[in-house]
Amino acid sequence: MANKMNQLSIRFLVVGALVLGMLIPLVFVGGVADERQRYYAQAVDAIADSWGGEQTIIGPLLVVPVLQHYTAKSDDGEVVQYHRRLQRVVVPETLSLTVSLDHQFRHRAIYEVPVYLANISVSGRFTGLETEALIGRYDEVVWEEAKLVLGIQSTHAISEASSLKWSAAKLPFKAGTGHEWLGSGVHVSLPDNLEANVDFEFELQLKGTNSFGMAPVGSKSSMKIDSTWPHPSFQGQFLPDQYEVHDGGFDAQWSIHELARNLPSSWIVGMGDPNLHTTRASVVLHNPISQYHVIERGIKYGVLFIALTYLTFVCFELTTPIRFHYVQYGVVGLGLTLFYMTLLSLSEHMSFALAYCLATGLLTGLLSWYVHSIAHSKSLTVSIGVIVLSLYIVLYTLLKLEAFALLAGTSVLLIGLAALMYATRGLSERVIDDPP
């Protein structure tokens, strides 16, 4: 009996070593998944380069040249008058964006990438444009060169742009902002007879990928978004005050006060420019069914489920006269590893749920046939098939329950431990009762 116990101990050690050995093929499968993920990212970048990437609206902002006059003595002692030209930036008192995001899909090779078409209505009001308010310690405002600038990350993605309604005038947009601190975008040359308070509005149609956002430059900024995408992820420094997510999309509203955005009402370019690109309210068109992330998570559970399957085989060995060869354990482990490769290849051509069902069916059928060929026992074959099928139903649940994945995984381990305890509960009694 002691010899039998030694053999059983050796079997447990070898099976444990096989479980650890299965890490090697799992690492290779994980490498393939990472490679396919990079190909997908390249497809997203390629489509974004053509269609339009992540979009953030910055502005509109009023840029007015100002001249500072001063006198200084020249080298020969004469008093000479000089002037220095600077640019003053003024933010609107109110700024409102109403955005409609309609999503669609673009394809590159076998990859499907969600993109959007944004119809944007922008309106607002500039106040306090009296010359005295803008001059400050400067002597002259060059109104005839005043411009309204609007920062846009990907200007090549502009589909349509209406004229700017500036008070009673309608003015066309022109390409470029002319300012490195703002980046790419468009501008409008304004009339030189500016009023103290001016209302403005315009419409813009913009294409983009992944995310859309705004920099809340107004003293009072607001944004409303309605979209057909049902999986939003709100990001940036400001979350929406109200939002509703439904099967047909989502609606969200932001209202941002000037005290929250840490931005002055005006500033001189080159003298402590604020970073307009880091302060924003945005929404990401999150894709929850990206199969690569899900499969990567599944591979992390790979050793756990191989160990549970091996545990099932050991329990049958302890309760039946059937014994499996170590090579057969290895073959079963390779089959369990191949499940992830099968799932990865199928999910690139169909929905993840269908791919998972097919991969699970193929694996369960293959293992059931293999066990039947070894043991020639229908009851054992059915038991193994049911247990393996149950394990992969549990895995699917773990992949879907992201927030409770740790709790569910721990529960599975406890159930497996309880099964092992039950199967090994009589080993010590057999040693005691066994005659010398």
- Side-chain half-sphere exposure of 45, counting CA atoms within 13 A: 6
Residues whose CB is less than 8 angstroms from the CB of residue 200 and which lie 6 or more positions away in sequence, other chains included: 60, 92, 122, 123, 124, 125, 126, 148, 164, 165, 166, 167
pLDDT of residue 416: 63
Is residue 117 pLDDT above 80, yes or no?
yes
The token pair at 111 is 């990859």
Walk me through the domains of the chain, giving residue ranges and CATH numbers.
2-40+292-433 (no CATH), 53-287 (2.60.40)
pLDDT of residue 354: 84
pLDDT of residue 434: 46
Q: What is the mean pLDDT of residues 97-113?
A: 81
The total of other beta-carbon atoms located within 10 Å of residue 298's CB is: 23
Is residue 303 pLDDT above 80, yes or no?
no
Query: Residue 3: exposed, middle, or buried by beta-carbon count in 10 A (0-12, 13-18, 19+)?
Result: exposed
Residue 246 vs residues 225, 251, 350, 384: alpha-carbon distances, Å: 14, 9, 24, 41
pLDDT of residue 143: 77
Q: How confident is the model at residue 323 (pLDDT cuts 50, 70, 90)?
A: confident
- Phi first, then psi: what are they for 86, rounded to 5°? -130, 170
124-147 pLDDT, tens digit each: 888 877 665 566 666 677 777 888
Q: How confident is the model at residue 214 (pLDDT cuts 50, 70, 90)?
A: confident
Is residue 150 pLDDT above 80, yes or no?
yes
pLDDT of residue 419: 64
The token pair at 296 is 């990567």
pLDDT of residue 90: 85
Query: Residue 172: exposed, middle, or buried by beta-carbon count in 10 A (0-12, 13-18, 19+)?
Result: exposed
Q: What is the mean pLDDT of residues 302-316?
A: 74
Is residue 424 pLDDT above 80, yes or no?
no
* Whether 123 contacts 220, CB under 8 Å: no
236-254 pLDDT, tens digit each: 888 888 888 887 888 888 8
Is residue 223 pLDDT above 80, yes or no?
yes
pLDDT of residue 433: 46
Q: What is the mean pLDDT of residues 215-231?
A: 87
- Percent pLDDT > 90 in the chain is 1
Is residue 2 pLDDT above 60, yes or no?
no
Is residue 6 pLDDT above 70, yes or no?
no
Residue whose C-alpha is closest to residue 333's, from 360, 303, 361, 362 = 303
Mean of per-residue pLDDT scores for the chain: 77
pLDDT of residue 301: 72
pLDDT of residue 429: 47
pLDDT of residue 3: 57
DSSP-derived pairing of the beta strands 211-215 and 55-73: parallel
**How many angstroms separate the CA atoms of 101 and 249, rounded?**
9
352-406 pLDDT, tens digit each: 778 888 888 888 888 888 877 877 777 777 877 887 787 777 777 776 665 555 6
pLDDT of residue 401: 63
* Residue scoring higher pLDDT (322 or 281): 281
